[in-house]
Structure 1
Amino acid sequence: MTEYGRGAGREPWHPEDPLYGDQGWAGQQAVQGQGPYGGQPQHYQQEPQHSQPQQPYYDGGQHQQPQQPQQPQQPQQPQQPGHPGRPQPYNDQQQYGQGHNGGWDTGAHQQQEPVPYGMSPGADPYAAQQPAYGGEGPDYYAAPEAYPPPQPPNQRRAAPEPDRAPEWEPETEAEEQHPFFTGADDHDDDAYDDDPRESRGGRGGRGGDRRGGKTKKKKSRNGTACLFVTVVLVGGIGGVGYFGYQFYQDQFGAPEDFTGSGTGSVEVEVPKGAGLGQIGSILARKGVVKSSGAFVSAATANPKSQGIQPGVYPMKKEMSGKAAVDLMINPSNLNALIIREGQRNVAIYEEIDKKLKLDAGTTEDVAEKEFKDLGLPEWANDDPDIKDPLEGFLYPSRYDIGGKSTPKSMLKEMVTRAAAKYEAANVEAEATRLGLNSPMDLITVASLVQVEGKYKHDFDKVSRVVYNRLKPNNTETVGRLEFDSTINYIKAESRLDIGAVDDLRQLRDPYNTYDIKGLPPGAISNPGAEALNSAINPKPGPWYYFVSVTADKTLFAVTNAEHEKNRQQYEDELENSGQ
């Protein structure tokens, strides 16, 4: 068997194999004594081999060639890795027959039996062979553009004849076949005959649909599709333009607004913590302004809009944003009742009647008859001489007036708030700590501090004067408070000159502190949080007297003589001021 796995003949595996040079298969024979590789010698000097039978040869691991008759022993040629049969020079450091990783066996393998042609042998002794002799030759069958692997002569395919047409058709660009554009689904089955045969056109849908030899012209939908697309585009552009305009108006355009001060009347309640945007939305829902933006724009331009308070506002409909802001920044337009610290119940009843547009005395009558149903604490109204059980329990604050407000509902809201404040201050325990008879006495002290202490920074000292005068060992006032505020409470007045002391002591009334010792039966005003805190925490000191000379100056004294000097200074201040 010759090298390169050939059979009996000298025909090469491929006519275009460049390794064969000019002596390939173009009708020429190899020169005697030369191999088919362009003049390379076919035989090389070989070292002695081990005595071993010749093994069958496998062509590429796929087919076994029939064993040839025994020829005279020729020197074995080394094989090129990846290209069996091509002679290569020996490597000086690797000898035939020596152990080599991936090289030829040294005789340890056994003789294999021949395998019929066309069957796969058990193993290819050359399949995993590494270059055994130093150099790496090019593998012309491994690259994508390599020659096809060799085939036996009986399985080779003849080259196509020059005048024979190729077996493939040139590819053409596919035409659009979607039924939306071609109208392929727009056919009428009744337009065809009953012949079930159908002739298809060429590739890409050419040739049309034919039934029974008749070709039906398809209805084109190109015009309808274009019209549909045009409508969609026009509609989309219109929608984008509309929303773009709205966005521009919202961001940059002037908001919709009414003109003028409005007409009619509507009540609007602004909740606590509401911002300008929320207020504008409330006004727009009520029909006061045309848009929230109109109010927000006008409020932003007016720095006083930050003073808009929560509460109920009597508004008009269809007001401009500026008119709505101007009305709401004026506290007098807020439909609410504001109770001042130290204000008496009599004045509060009158204001409720005015706010609710009721006859004078209506609220006072409700307070007198229904005070037990308004939520007073259990310790309140603990003395039969108390003139008004609600005095001291109409807590100073602002109370919104709505369409459903009544004298009873408003009074109950005030009492409920006062009770909660007093409970939070723990007045029951504090009254016991201070040596008072009841929590009601503590509220009474707070009401006195609120009225007598003209300024809040004096409340702590005024509270100490009250507690010092209540002491049994008080030699300055002999246990009497002698506060002018109690006389004004009795007379429902607010005067500085209340008369001579001897005359005042002739007034018989349980609230007359010039006559009685100790506290009056109940509060004389509605104290605020500061006065209550000072009543609970009086400042330590020996003072029994005080007089306010100016707004920033209050003089406190321990003895009556010192107090008279302070009073003279007060009168001088009044004279110099022209009062």
Structure 2
Amino acid sequence: MTEYGRGPGSEPWHPEDPLYGDGGWEGQEAQAARSPYGGQPQQHPQQPQQPQYGEWGNGPQPGYEQGQQQYAQGQQYAQEQHQQYGGQPPQQYAGQDGQGYPGQGGPQYDQNGQQYDQDGRPYDGGWNPGGQQHQQHQHQHQQHQVPYGGDPNDPYDGQAATYAGQQSDYYGTPDAYPPPEPPGRRRAEPEPEPRQESQRTDWDPGPDQGEHAFFAGDDEADDDGADDPQDRRRGKGGKGSKDEDGKKSRSGCACLVVSLVLTSVVGGAGYFGYQFYQSRFGSAPDYSGEGTGEQVTVVIPKGAFGSVIGQRLKAAGVVKSVDAFVSAQARNSDGDKIQAGSYLLKKQMSAESAVELMLNPKSQNNLVVREGQRNVTVYEAIDKQLGLDKGTTAEVAEKEYRSLGLPDWANDDSDIKDPLEGFLYPATYPAAKDMKPEALLKDMVAQANKEYAEYDLEGKAEELGLENPLQVVTVASLVQAEGITHDDFRKMASVVYNRLKPTNDVTNQKLEFDSTYNYLKGQSEIDISVDEIRNFDDPYNTYFYKGLPPGPIGNPGKDALKAAVDPDGGAWMFFISIDGKKTDFTRTLAEHEKLVKKFNERRNKG
């Protein structure tokens, strides 16, 4: 027996079979007309049956009544056999379920004991195909149509029950799928006709495979829930369906977005194209004329290139663009001579006018500290540059020197006349009218710290036999004051170190420099009497005291500082300049006395 309860025949009868109810079973009705019980009339009560309805009509489904009749006949025969054998069916008549109704595994008997086969013919012990087929169908019918609704999970259970009207017709509900058609009426399912764009519903994925097509005008993005299945089968839109105005609005938004994107792309390309053209071929933006009457001070840092200068001028409102200034500076033959410093310029000047004014010394608001210059001279220059009363800057330096940024090793001697001496580094500093003197002094001290940091002054002091870094700066100031040219500096440094040696028995470790006496006197004299200079008691008088003065006597420059940390190593002990342009150095006193004689002769003639 097959999975669907088929016998030797070709048609299924199982109610759950998808082909159940087709017209191929109509031939069984003729067999059912003949009594399988040896001509005995069918004596059984007629139970009301639940009609089965097919797709092709409202009458009973073909083949269903046959199964009901066979079931009733089997029930009647089982009762008769039960009465004949005293309530116990013969073992040879018992089927698989132990019920002795016909068709369950043996020949059939009438009331007189005559054996008959399934077709009513006398049974000769052979095999009856028809009976076997009927037996198998009877058995399957019993197993799957249990009376009185035995299986609650079977949708067809209880359809043969005697309680009419208690079972629903599953094919008659609106939600049921239509039952299969008989084989003779079956036909290939037609191909679905392609729908027009207007027939598509909002649940139809369409040509975009169900993805959300923004630019296609699809409006399913606004759906709030699933569509009703009935609406989908009938081609109706669900909750998210939109009217024609909604689709047009969505399409209009998409077009607007595309237009904005294209406008941005075209506009951006045009802007950058214009900038590229201007940077390569166009003239830079520039003012015209010599500017307005409003003046502004611009500070140019040291080592600034043309582009940096142009940025400073543009930020101050002097020029209109950096490119215009760079171009004007390149066109001017002296444009590369613009130096660091402070410049008094006008606003909204043409780049060419700005370059010319910056080359004019009158526009420079700068203060220059020269090499070897004493602090007292620098203070006076600051007062003049800033328009202050004479002595203002000197008073500020005396009171506020501790807050101006001096290094820790500065001012370690109470005999120092000016703690800032040697720390106002020679350079050019911006000095506008609105500046304060302490700001300028801070800039100078900061520059000195920066320059001195390039040398290991502490290490050099120990190497040269000096007490501290301040003495290295002091030696540099002496070299700067006594030397005439930079070529003299290294030999002059050797003179200082040789006279400081304990083995010096010529000057007895005295430097005997006129520059130290002039410093304490605040003068710059050459002709000083021996009696005056040797008898003036002051720590800065090197004719009176041995060794170095308490501190620097001026502000040494870079070359003097280099010579102080790296003397030439010669045994020079004396020096003199006969013509005031060249310095002659000697090792012995005799050689020196000869040069002194020449100096006096030249001086007497002159």
TM-score (norm 1): 0.53
Give the superposition deviation at 1:313. Answer: 1.4
Structure 2 gaps, min length 5: 1-261
2:459 is equivalent to residue 459 of structure 1? no
> Given that residues 284 and 321 in structure 2 are in contact (C-alpha distance below 8 angstroms), is that contact kept between their aligned partners in structure 1?
no
Change (3 A) 1:298 1:355: same
Local SS of the residue matching 2:334:
helix
- Kept in 2, the 8 Å contact 1:258–1:289? The answer is no
**Retained in 1: the 8 A contact 2:471–2:551?**
yes
User: Does the 8 Å contact 1:263/1:318 carry over to 2?
Assistant: no
Query: What corresponds to 2:399 in structure 1?
Result: 369
- Asked whether 1:348 is paired with 2:378, we answer yes
Larger Rg: 2
Letter in 1 for 2:319: V
- 2:584 pairs with 1:555: yes
Q: Where does residue 45 of structure 1 map in the other structure?
A: none
**Structure 2 counterpart of 1:512:** 541
Amino acid at match of 1:424: E
- The reply to whether residue 425 of structure 1 matches residue 455 of structure 2 is yes
Secondary structure of 2:577's match? strand
Give the Å deviation of 1:524.
Answer: 0.2
Contact in 2 for aligned 1:469/1:481 (Cα 8 Å): yes
Partner of 1:200: none
- Within 2, Cα distance between the matches of 1:307 and 1:467? 40
* 8 Å CA contact retained: 2:396, 2:438: yes
CA distance in 2, matches of 1:285, 1:435: 52
Which residue identity is paired with 1:317?
Answer: K
Q: Decide whether the 8 Å contact of 1:262 with 1:320 is kept in 2.
A: no
1:509-561 CA distances to partner (integer Å, 9 max, x unpaired)?
21111222211111101112221221122222222111234577421112233
Write out per-residue CA displacement over residues 305-352 of structure 1, whole angstroms, 9 at most, x where no aligned residue. Answer: 101123331101233333311221235533232211211111111112
CA–CA distance in 1 between the matches of 2:353 and 2:516? 46
In the other structure, the counterpart of 1:159 is none
SS in 2 for 1:546: strand
Return the alpha-carbon distance in structure 2 between the equivalents of residues 490 and 255 of structure 1: 58
Residue number in structure 2 paired with 1:564: 593
Which residue matches 1:276?
Answer: 306
Give the whole-Å Cα distance in 2 for the aligned partners of 1:324 and 1:451: 39
Deviation, 1:290, is 4.6
Distance 2:300 2:391 in 1: 30
Cα deviation, residue 398, structure 1: 2.4
Work out whether 1:541 is the aligned partner of 2:596. Answer: no
2:558 pairs with 1:529:
yes
* Paired residue type of 2:421: E
Sequence identity of aligned pairs in percent?
48
Number of aligned pairs?
344
Secondary structure, counterpart of 1:429 in structure 2? helix
Q: Which residue, 469, 479, 486 being the options, matches 2:516?
A: 486
Give unpaired runs (5+ residues) of structure 1: 1-231
Matches within 5 A, 1:179-328: 247=277, 251=281, 256-260=286-290, 262-292=292-322, 294-328=324-358
Alignment of 1:4-403 (within 5 A): 247=277, 251=281, 256-260=286-290, 262-292=292-322, 294-331=324-361, 333-401=363-431
Q: 1:319 to 1:572 in 2, by over 3 A?
A: farther
More helix by share: 2
Tell me the secondary structure at the aligned position of residue 583 of structure 2: strand
**How far does residue 395 in structure 1 lie from its aligned partner after superposition?**
1.8
- Give me the whole-angstrom Cα distance separating, in 1, the residues matched to 2:359 and 2:391: 31
- Say yes or no: does 1:503 pair with 2:532: yes
CA distance in structure 1 between the aligned counterparts of 2:323 and 2:454, rounded to whole angstroms: 42
Cα offset, 1:355, TM superposition? 2.2
Flag the 1:256–1:387 CA change in 2: closer, same or farther, 3 A. closer
Cα contact 1:455–1:551 (8 A) shared by 2? no
Please tell me the residue identity of whatever aligns with 2:536.
Answer: L
The one-letter amino acid paired with 1:542 is A
Residue by residue over 1:473-504, the C-alpha shift from the partner in whole angstroms, topping out at 9 and shown as x without a partner, is: 32322221111111221222223x23221221
**Paired amino acid for 1:539:** D
- State the shift of 1:574 in Å: 6.9
Match of 1:471 among 494, 501, 515: 501
Name the aligned partner's letter for residue 406 of structure 1. K
CA distance in 2, matches of 1:247, 1:574: 73
SS in 2 for 1:477: coil
* C-alpha contact (below 8 Å) 1:487/1:498 kept by paired residues: no
Match of 1:411 in 2: 441
Q: Which amino acid aligns with 1:543?
A: W
CA distance in 2, matches of 1:404, 1:435: 46
How much has 1:565 moved relative to structure 2? 2.4
Shift of 1:252: 5.8
Deviation, 1:417, is 3.0
Closer, same or farther: CA 374–274 of 1 in aligned 2, 3 Å: closer
Report how far residue 359 of structure 1 moved: 1.4
Question: For the structure 1 residues 290 and 376, does the alpha-carbon distance in structure 2 shift closer, same or farther, using more than 3 Å as the test?
Answer: closer
CA deviation digits over 1:353-383, x for unaligned, max 9?
A: 2222221111111111111122222222121
One-letter amino acid of the counterpart of residue 378, structure 1: D
Residue 386 of structure 1 and its aligned partner are, at CA, apart by 0.8
Partner deviation per Cα, 1:90-142 (whole Å, 9 max, x = no partner): xxxxxxxxxxxxxxxxxxxxxxxxxxxxxxxxxxxxxxxxxxxxxxxxxxxxx
Mapped to 1, the partners of 2:355 and 2:604 lie a distance apart of: 45
Counterpart amino acid of residue 415 in structure 1: V
